[in-house]
């Protein structure tokens, strides 16, 4: 009997540990309504005091003050809302502005002071310009015709520099993943030829998260070795601690979204939780707060929604 009691004690001790992980939503708040405009692709500032977003087709850039829900317009520029980045000190937002001349696309890199709304142009009217990446002690990197360039986010002065050995960023070039790390540039196609989208590095810069059109979402190491298959998981986003991935499961009829809900998966793909199941709201494009206990999304019709989370580990 004594040996049996010890065995039962061990089982009871470890069962809660194995099954205690859970993520749920405690509250959803509508931050904007359609009277103030239709907004998409929201993103938190690092101190969560502002939520930035754009309009359809990434036109313009705005932010909402989370204290009073007031909305401020930063720019009307086309393309400004696509993969913009925010200074971790919350002083500036950096974005790419696009225009067409004789049916050819030209892009500029711009910086806007959030307090004064003064805009400065860093790179003007160039072809094949990537969106900016804010990394490496706050310096901003981008590519022009696949040549890496950078500037200091404090002075906004161009600098001829390379990434430090511990810094990196990923982007898509010619439908493939390209990893920039230190002085090296590595082209990755872990699943062969096809359309790679939504790439991002884990917070510790050791893994790559991406979606491969038609096959799902995956995590690889920096050499492209597949570590996790998350299945159908669109617009995947790392949590700040790298433990979770938020994503949407959506379906369309070729013209309109029929449904879309938000899910969270553990980074190893073993635990998945559905956060929304709304019949009259299609939630899309999740982004984490810096604290990791909130997610902001937009509805299909253009409302910005804030989701407060309960995370038990």
In tens, the pLDDT along 271-289 reads 999 999 988 999 999 999 9
Percentage of the chain beyond pLDDT 90 is: 78
Per-residue confidence band for 167, with pLDDT thresholds at 50, 70 and 90: confident
Identify the pLDDT of residue 254: 87
pLDDT over 50 at 214, yes or no = yes
Give me the long-range contacts of 37-41 (CB less than 8 A, separation at least 24): 37/62, 37/71, 37/302, 38/301, 38/302, 39/298, 39/302, 39/303, 39/304, 40/81, 40/284, 40/285, 40/298, 40/302, 41/81, 41/82, 41/285, 41/298
For residues 161 and 76, the model is more confident at: 76
273's enclosing H/E stretch is strand 272-274
Identify the pLDDT of residue 2: 37
Identify the pLDDT of residue 20: 53
Q: What is the pLDDT of residues 77-89, one digit of tens each?
A: 999 999 999 988 8
Least confident of 146-155, 187-196, 214-223: 146-155
> For residue 119, how many other CB atoms are within 10 A of its CB?
16
pLDDT over 90 at 261, yes or no = yes
Domains present along the chain, CATH in parentheses: 38-161 (2.120.10.60)
pTM of the full structure = 0.89
Task: Report the candidate in 201, 202, 153 with the shortest Cα–Cα distance to residue 178.
Answer: 201
Identify the pLDDT of residue 186: 96
Residue with tokens 């002071």: 113
> For residue 199, how many other CB atoms are within 10 A of its CB?
20
Identify the pLDDT of residue 13: 35
Q: What is the pLDDT of residues 3-29, one digit of tens each?
A: 333 433 333 333 333 445 889 999 999
Identify the pLDDT of residue 192: 97
Q: What is the pLDDT of residues 83-141, one digit of tens each?
A: 999 988 878 999 999 999 999 999 999 999 999 999 999 999 999 999 999 886 678 99
Identify the pLDDT of residue 160: 66
CA distance 110 to 119: 7
Structure tokens that stand for 236 in this block: 């995947």
Identify the pLDDT of residue 88: 84
What is the residue-averaged pLDDT of the chain? 90
């Amino acid at each position: 009997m004594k040996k049996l009691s010890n065995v039962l004690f061990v089982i009871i001790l470890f069962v809660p540990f194995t099954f205690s992980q859970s993520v749920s939503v405690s509250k959803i708040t509508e931050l904007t309504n359609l009277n103030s405009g239709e907004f998409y692709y929201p993103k938190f500032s690092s101190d969560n005091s502002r939520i930035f977003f754009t309009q359809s087709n990434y036109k313009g850039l705005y932010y909402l003050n989370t204290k009073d829900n007031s909305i401020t317009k930063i720019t009307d520029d086309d393309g400004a809302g696509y993969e913009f980045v925010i200074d971790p000190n919350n002083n500036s937002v950096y974005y790419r502005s696009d225009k067409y001349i004789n049916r050819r696309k030209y892009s500029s890199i711009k910086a806007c002071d959030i307090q004064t709304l003064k805009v400065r142009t860093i790179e003007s009217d160039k072809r094949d310009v990537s969106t900016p990446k804010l990394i490496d002690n706050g310096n901003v990197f981008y590519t022009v015709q696949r040549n890496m360039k950078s500037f200091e986010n404090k002075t906004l002065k161009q600098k001829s520099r390379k990434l430090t050995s511990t810094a990196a960023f990923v982007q898509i070039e010619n439908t493939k993943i390209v990893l920039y790390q230190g002085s090296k540039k590595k082209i990755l196609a872990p699943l062969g030829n096809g359309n790679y989208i939504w790439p991002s590095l884990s917070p510790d810069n050791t893994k790559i998260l991406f979606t491969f059109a038609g096959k799902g979402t995956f995590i690889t190491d920096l050499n492209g070795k597949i570590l996790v298959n998350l299945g159908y998981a669109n617009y995947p986003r790392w949590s700040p601690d790298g433990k979770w991935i938020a994503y949407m499961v959506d379906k369309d009829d070729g013209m309109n979204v029929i449904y879309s809900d938000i899910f969270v998966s553990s980074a190893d793909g073993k635990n998945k939780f559905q956060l929304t199941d709304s019949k009259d709201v299609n939630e899309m494009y999740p982004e984490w707060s810096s604290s990791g206990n909130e997610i902001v999304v937009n509805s299909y019709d253009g409302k910005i929604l804030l989701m407060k989370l309960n995370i038990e580990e």
